[in-house]
Copies of this chain bind each other. A is one copy, B any other.
Amino acid sequence: MRIALLGGTGDIGEGLALRFARDTDHELLIGSRDPEKAREAVSEYEADLEHRGVDATLKGFVNEMAADRADIVVLSVPPYHVGDTVEAVADRLDEDTILVTPAVGMKGDADGLHYHPPGVGSVSELVANRAPDGVPVVGAYHNLAAGKLADLDVTFDLDTLVVGDDADAKKLVRDLSNEIEGLRALDAGPLANAAEVESVTPLVINIAKYNDDMHDVGVKWV
């Protein structure tokens, strides 16, 4: 399977790239608005992996080309770029490409971070509205701490919640996610249930803020 990580030079993209590269045999395409930046990230990720004895080949592209070549396109971009990024790659997507959205809208104040979804209810639903008809949209990876994810020295036992209206696409993303060591992908239902999933992201950041030794905390549903 070919997985494109758009915005794959950013924090969550880096973690997914490294974990997928280490734990699976899938082909990884790192996307960026700047192809040079994508290629630099690829060199950096390959060096990290090689240092750990993992011989992985990643490829760097401008987002549009990464999306064009992929079976799975992960929108690992900040929430305020999600809409633009979907539009930029829209004509590279079709019914056989699954669009995966991990972004969460948040706003912060002195108390902590708060869930701040777009008017449509959640970023996942915003992506579904912006995606071309027929392209399946799946929400996943919202609540993973980027620092922990990108540090391959960290062995974790975490859950990610997956939402989507296309059962086959959702199952494929769950199966794919379960290939990452220590990650369990659970079903949280249709896209209409995305808001409650996304709002866990500011919550984990608040928990990290208010408790000792809980930096980069994640979640396990038990």
Contact = CB atoms under 8 A, between A and B. Distances in A.
A210 B193 CA distance: 11
A140 to B, nearest CB: 14
Interface stretch (A7-15, A42-50, A108-116): A108-116
A33 to B, nearest CB: 31
B158 A193 contact: no
Contact of A206 (B109, B157, B193, B209): B193
Interface residues of A, number: 36
Contacts of A218: 221-222
**Chain A's interface: helix, strand, loop or mixed, by majority?**
mixed
How many chain copies does the complex carry? Answer: 2
Interface in A197-211: 197, 199-200, 202-204, 206-207, 209-211
A99 interface: no
10 contacts: A111-B190, A114-B193, A114-B195, A115-B196, A161-B203, A188-B203, A188-B206, A189-B210, A200-B200, A220-B221
Interface of A: 109, 111-112, 114-115, 156-158, 161, 186-190, 192-193, 195-197, 199-200, 202-204, 206-207, 209-211, 214, 217-222
